[in-house]
């Protein structure tokens, strides 16, 4: 009898163990999500509210880890190690490329939903372009951003400017009108000097030749590059730039909000929200693409990149993961998240914030994606010292375009 009781207890213990293990497994999360939301920011608060609403809506157990800016450095290692991350964010198309092997092909979900009707085509084309076959979607965009000129619309009105410039000639006419009205047209901090000059190089020289110059030198032999340098010198001499530019960020750009002495800044879409938060200004904003050169070798595209949501290729419940991704990236949820931190909602069916009215038009009507710095940053060995020469160019250190081009060539000596 004692043996039978002992055997029975042993069986019960084994059964209990299996039942316990089953309960432990069942109590695990249905999805593990890694985000780039910064704790304590308006975006984080809105996102947390939306995630809680999704939990309530679906009954799913969603484990969310908010890593903020650290996500980009932690994600790759975690995915390579096989750590469970069902849904994750990437900060750009380059980041998507880096983690591409870990991403699930979402083409079926995308084409069977209304994502293609909502998202800006240029953003979806960028995502599709990262596919080996150039015909798959391995992410959907959350927030898109590109560099452009952002300006105080009241100053344009005071100067009698009625149309955003498209060509460099039209841009110079705008700057002349602003100078005549008592403004320094362009704000410039050193942090944006390479992007600003690089945009001009993209328009005049072209990204392919700009990249070749950055890697091999020969700036003085490229007539369009010399001409681009000369343009910057002429613009400075005409008073187009803030007299103290290029300053330390954000001193020059803040003048747009603090004193309104400056009117425009060429940088990313965060500019308007950033300036208003730092200065307390409440401005009416306009924007336009960097003007193109009809005689140049470049395009009239924009350097656009998107923060994206991806699903891990090893996710055990991709349908639930897609439901989460779709919920967070479409409709009022995505608009609330992007509005909270002053970005353009990546959903063209939604009305953007007022400062992004021009931006929406740009996104809807631009098909070409350009390099943000015309290829000038493609040589890691001279990237930093080249930035120093660019700052010197904007500071008035060179008398002619030829002299400036020679300074760039000296980086290779």
Q: What residue has token string 């309960």?
A: 23
- Per-residue pLDDT at 195: 96
Walk along the chain (413 residues) and give the pLDDT tens digit of each residue. Answer: 444 444 443 433 333 443 344 433 446 899 999 999 889 888 889 999 999 999 999 999 999 999 988 998 999 999 999 999 999 999 887 888 889 999 999 999 999 999 999 999 999 998 988 876 668 999 999 888 899 999 999 999 999 999 999 999 999 999 999 999 999 999 999 999 999 999 999 999 999 999 999 999 999 999 999 999 999 999 999 999 999 999 899 999 999 999 999 999 999 988 888 999 999 999 999 999 999 999 999 999 999 988 899 999 999 999 999 999 999 988 788 888 888 878 887 888 888 888 889 999 999 999 999 998 999 999 999 999 999 999 999 999 999 999 999 999 999 98
Contact 147, 372 (CB under 8 A): yes
Peptide bond into 250 cis (omega under 30): yes
In the structure encoding, which two tokens stand for residue 322, read together? 């897609």
List alpha helices for 263-400, DSSP H.
Answer: 271-279, 318-329, 331-340, 357-365, 383-395
Q: List phi, psi (to 5°) of 281.
A: -75, 155
Q: Which of 405, 407, 368 is nearest to 126 (CA)?
A: 368
Ordered domains of the chain (ranges, CATH): 23-146+306-359 (3.40.190.10), 148-301+379-412 (3.40.190.10)
Q: What is the pTM of this model?
A: 0.86
Q: Would you state the pLDDT for residue 140?
A: 92
Confidence (pLDDT) at 27: 66
How, if at all, do strands 87-90 and 31-35 pair? Answer: parallel
Question: Would you state the pLDDT for residue 4?
Answer: 43
Tokens 């100067």 -> residue: 159
CA-CA distance, 199 to 195, in Å (whole number)? 6
Q: What is the pLDDT of residue 7?
A: 40
């Amino acid at each position: 009898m004692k043996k039978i009781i002992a055997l029975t207890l042993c069986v019960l213990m084994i059964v209990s163990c299996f039942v316990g293990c089953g309960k432990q497994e069942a109590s695990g999360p249905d999805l593990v999500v890694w985000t780039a939301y910064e704790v304590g920011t308006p975006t984080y608060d809105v996102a947390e509210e939306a995630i809680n609403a999704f939990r309530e809506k679906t009954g799913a157990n969603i484990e969310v880890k908010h890593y903020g800016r650290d996500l980009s450095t932690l994600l790759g290692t975690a995915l390579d190690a096989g750590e469970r991350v069902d849904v994750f964010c990437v900060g750009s198309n380059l980041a998507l490329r880096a983690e591409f092997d870990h991403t699930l092909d979402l083409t079926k979900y995308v084409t069977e939903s209304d994502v293609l009707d909502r998202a800006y085509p240029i953003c979806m084309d960028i995502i599709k372009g990262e596919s080996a076959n150039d015909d798959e979607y391995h992410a959907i965009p959350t927030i898109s951003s590109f560099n452009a000129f952002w300006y105080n619309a009241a100053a344009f009105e005071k100067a009698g400017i009625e149309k955003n410039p498209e060509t460099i000639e039209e841009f110079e006419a705008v700057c002349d009108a602003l100078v005549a009205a008592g403004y320094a047209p362009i704000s410039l901090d050193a942090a944006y000097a390479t992007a600003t000059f690089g945009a001009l190089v993209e328009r005049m020289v072209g990204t392919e030749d700009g990249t070749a110059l950055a890697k091999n030198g020969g700036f003085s032999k490229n007539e369009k590059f010399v001409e681009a340098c000369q343009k910057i010198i002429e613009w400075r001499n005409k008073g187009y730039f803030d007299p103290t530019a290029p300053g330390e960020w954000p001193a020059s750009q803040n003048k747009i909000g603090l004193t309104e002495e400056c009117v425009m800044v060429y940088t990313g879409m965060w500019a308007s929200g950033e300036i208003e938060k730092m200065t307390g200004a409440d401005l009416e904003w306009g924007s336009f693409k960097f003007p193109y050169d009809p005689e140049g070798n470049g395009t009239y595209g924009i350097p656009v990149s998107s923060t994206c949501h991806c699903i891990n290729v090893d996710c055990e419940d991709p349908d639930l993961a897609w439901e989460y991704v779709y919920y967070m990236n479409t409709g009022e949820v995505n608009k609330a998240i992007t509005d909270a931190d002053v970005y353009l909602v990546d959903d063209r069916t939604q009305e953007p914030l007022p400062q992004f009215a021009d931006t929406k038009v740009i996104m809807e009507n631009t098909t070409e994606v350009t390099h943000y710095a015309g290829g000038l940053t493609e040589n890691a060995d001279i990237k930093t010292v080249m930035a120093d020469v660019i700052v010197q160019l904007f500071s008035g250190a060179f008398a002619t375009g030829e002299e400036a081009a020679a300074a760039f060539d000296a980086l290779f000596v």
